[in-house]
Amino acid sequence: MILLDPKNHDRPYPDSRSSELMRKTIGFFEGKGKAKLLEDYYARPWYADFLEFVKRERIFASMCTPAGEGAADTRWDTWRNCEFAEILGFYGLQYWYTWQVSILGLGPIWMSGNEALRKRAAAALEDGGVFAFGLSEQTHGADIYSTDMVLSRDGDGWRANGRKYYIGNGNEAAIVSTFGRFADSDDYVFFAADPSHPSYHLVKNVVASQNYVSEFELRDYPVAEADIMHRGRAAWDAALNTVNIGKYNLGWASIGICTHALYEAISHAHNRKLYGMRVTDMSHVRRMFVEGHARLVAMKLFALRAADYMRSASPEDRRYLLYNPMVKMKVTTQGEAVIDLLWDAIAAKGFEKDMYFSQAAIDIRALPKLEGTVHVNIALIAKFMPNFFFAPAEYPEIGRQDHERKDDFLFDQGSARGLGQIRFHDYRHAFAGVDLPNVRVFFEQTEKFRDMLAEAPPGPDQMKDVDFLLAGGEIFALVVYAQLILENARLYDIGDDPLDQIFEFMVRDLSKYALQLLGQPSSSDAQIAACREMMRKPHHDPERYERVWREQVEPLDGAYAMNP
């Protein structure tokens, strides 16, 4: 089974330490129990018990220290980071969040040539420290062109003045990797700040949550040369390249949340009777569970495959720069769709405070809105569209990248520029040999979209019309989503029935986005005609649908329940 089941976590790992990390993390949460997990969620204490566990078991130290920077058992391994992020999301976004913002805070450090600072970070991880990424500001958000954190020359060093806003772990981070600019040159800079310093002023937690999402102010904070991580263009690249690493993790939080919610929802609905019948015998409820399951499996297939390209990346192969924002944008919005389907099935039960679902329904909304909104990420991936459709390149085939290895390239990505020059392998290869009704329909829709781009491409005014580009970008995103799902369905032997069930909703979704594109005020007659050809009805096979329910979805009833 591709879905996480903590009570039967028998996945193979390439090394014993990885297995130990996952099993001990599951053991911590199951030992904590559901009642205490939910009590803490609503009371909102700082999760000191979790961070003490992290320190005692060297969890972050083992996983977040690149090989060669710390103890012998440390390495930055994207595949096991995916597993860990999924487990944390499964039990609560708050636990995932403190790890996620540590990942972001560590990015500029591990990318830096400042060896002393890297040693300081490794030592802090061994001591159970967490980290923070001081990028965004209340006035400018994550618009790093406009930072108001300013370093003014003071003798051999500088004094930093300015505020940062929405900075996770800003209350207790060992190091806050802080982005600013030099007053005398306006060059960008990344430097290390220490929350325990008297010139570091913690203003408040800006959210009502167990997470401490801080606003802080530096007032004449002394910055020495030893605190500098990056200057100029290198600081800019470090900011973007860190986000390239970190945004990917948001999809895994969504996958974990949805998986736990699915177990809980179906175990409730399948054992509840209304009007003399099981709730899951009601046709609309069963459809919600089958579609929710299909969307969740698709989320995980795509995110796993994106990790393969992330781990195989090099200066000559930067395809991951399309797939990473797709995990952030597409997987997280699909997570919202899954929770909506499950919530409609269990209705008022989803509000009850003794249900994990009650926190899942709240937290799932956050993920599409972090590390750049969905709209920002769609605008980003649109840069790749011309080469994706019309200039494919040859690459060696990439298999599953789940073996033990260090992912050093992530900290040596080079310039963040040149996205429009990145080439991709031909997406049509993924469809070849897949003879399933809905896959065929979806491929026909895809080719109609490609024809529209060739014969009636967006004009100059449409390229400035954000609503038009977003509608077209959603269709492009679905094509990329389908490609990697098909590639991974082979690698994970998903089977024809679940795969065709996935493409049933994919056909329907592409039709929906084609209708949105058709309805844009700026759409031309030729584009409208192409959109009409893209709108297709999926093939519904009652026997396939029943098999998916009986073999894939119904067995999830009672398959997992968190320790009380």
Confidence (pLDDT) at 429: 97
* Spatial separation of the C-alpha atoms in residues 518 and 538, rounded to whole Å: 19
* Spatial separation of the C-alpha atoms in residues 279 and 70, rounded to whole Å: 54
* Spatial separation of the C-alpha atoms in residues 62 and 417, rounded to whole Å: 32
Give Cβ neighbours of residue 26 (< 8 Å, ≥ 6 apart).
6, 9, 87
Question: How is the chain split into domains, by residue range?
Answer: 6-130, 133-232, 247-388+421-555
pLDDT in tens, 442-489: 999 999 999 999 999 999 898 888 889 889 999 999 999 999 999 999
Q: Which two tokens stand for residue 48?
A: 């000191």
* Spatial separation of the C-alpha atoms in residues 246 and 413, rounded to whole Å: 14
Does residue 373 carry a pLDDT above 70?
A: no
pLDDT in tens, 124-179: 999 999 999 999 999 887 777 789 999 999 999 999 999 999 999 999 999 999 99
Question: What is the CATH T-level fold of the domain 6-130, as seen in this structure?
Answer: Butyryl-Coa Dehydrogenase, subunit A; domain 1 (1.10.540)
pLDDT in tens, 101-132: 999 999 999 999 999 999 999 999 999 999 99
Q: Is 564 exposed, middle or buried (0-12, 13-18, 19+ CB in 10 A)?
A: exposed
CATH of 133-232 among 1.10.3710.10, 2.40.110.10, 3.40.50.300, 3.30.160.40? 2.40.110.10
Question: What is the CATH T-level fold of the domain 247-388+421-555, as seen in this structure?
Answer: Butyryl-CoA Dehydrogenase, subunit A; domain 3 (1.20.140)
Give Cβ neighbours of residue 462 (< 8 Å, ≥ 6 apart).
468, 469, 522
Confidence (pLDDT) at 327: 94
* pTM greater than the 0.85 cutoff: yes
